[in-house]
Amino acid sequence: MDYRDRHVIVTGGTGALGAAVVGALVEAGATCHVPYVVAAEAERFALRQHERVKLVAMSDLGDEADVARLFGSVDQLWASIHLVGGFAMAEVAKTTKAELMKQLEMNLVTAFLCSRGAVNAMSGRGGRIVNVAARPALEPRSGAGMAAYTASKAAVVAFTIALAEEVAKLGILVNAVAPSTMDTPANRAAMPKADHAAWPKVEEVAATILFLASPQNAVTRGAIVPVYGRA
């Protein structure tokens, strides 16, 4: 896939999946704009000194003004990939309204605001948007014990499909991936007895994202692509 001379925003780009996505993008020729909130994550980011990686300090990806500044700072935006989000494992009986709203803020609101910023930045030129849902969003029964998270990711699914229909006429193709548990150091530590070999690797999930965000994707829109591996 050829991303030469194309600018891409990647939220959550300093995380495990984000690093794989940014690494693949720069290898394909893209210039990546990577917002971060926690300075320590930016300092640990292996690609922070790459000539085509632009780290952008932000206070909150759920803040309208902050997101507007981010998207206003990138000329000729081609794609916007939204990996930032949050997870909480809790039964409904033990979940407060504040905790529910936090899941919605971290997953739905950030995807909504960044997608809005991308649509405005891509106006008249077209482009690509990729959101991240989750397996429980497509299989809600598997979301028992994490209903707030499941509901927030299901909202990302509905939003992605609706937005895809809304902006197709503008030449903007919107899709999402829905990973199962990915093979990351943090997930291995949290679930040491799981079958780690069955989990999708971040590089494999990144490859799917790269296609959906690429010029080579000429027709796919409104898709929620399961990236489960053998899990």
CB 64 within 8 A of CB 86: no
Q: pLDDT tens digits, residue range 122-164?
A: 989 999 999 999 999 999 999 999 999 999 999 999 999 999 9
Catalytic hit among 3, 36, 149, 228: 149
- Does residue 1 belong to any structural domain of this protein? no
Q: State the DSSP H helix or E strand holding residue 57, giving kind and residue range, or none if neither.
A: strand 53-57
Instruction: Say what the pLDDT of residue 218 is.
Output: 97
- Looking at residue 224, the DSSP 8-state letter turns out to be E
Q: Is 149 a catalytic residue?
A: yes
- Looking at residue 11, the DSSP 8-state letter turns out to be E
Instruction: Say what the pLDDT of residue 1 is.
Output: 87
- Does residue 118 belong to any structural domain of this protein? yes
- Does residue 168 belong to any structural domain of this protein? yes
Cα–Cα distance for residue pair 17/23, rounded to 1 Å: 10
Number of structural domains (the chain) is 1
Whats the size of the chain, residue-wise?
231
* Average pLDDT by stretches of 10, the chain with 231 residues: 96 96 98 95 94 96 96 97 96 98 98 98 96 98 97 98 98 98 92 94 97 98 96 86
> Residue 202's closest CA among 224, 188, 183, 227?
183
Instruction: Say what the pLDDT of residue 15 is.
Output: 94
Cα–Cα distance for residue pair 23/210, rounded to 1 Å: 11
For residue 62, the domain's CATH number is 3.40.50.720
Instruction: Say what the pLDDT of residue 143 is.
Output: 97
- Does residue 2 belong to any structural domain of this protein? no
- Does residue 218 belong to any structural domain of this protein? yes
- Does residue 139 belong to any structural domain of this protein? yes
Residue span of the structural domain in which 154 resides: 7-227
- Does residue 56 belong to any structural domain of this protein? yes
- Does residue 108 belong to any structural domain of this protein? yes
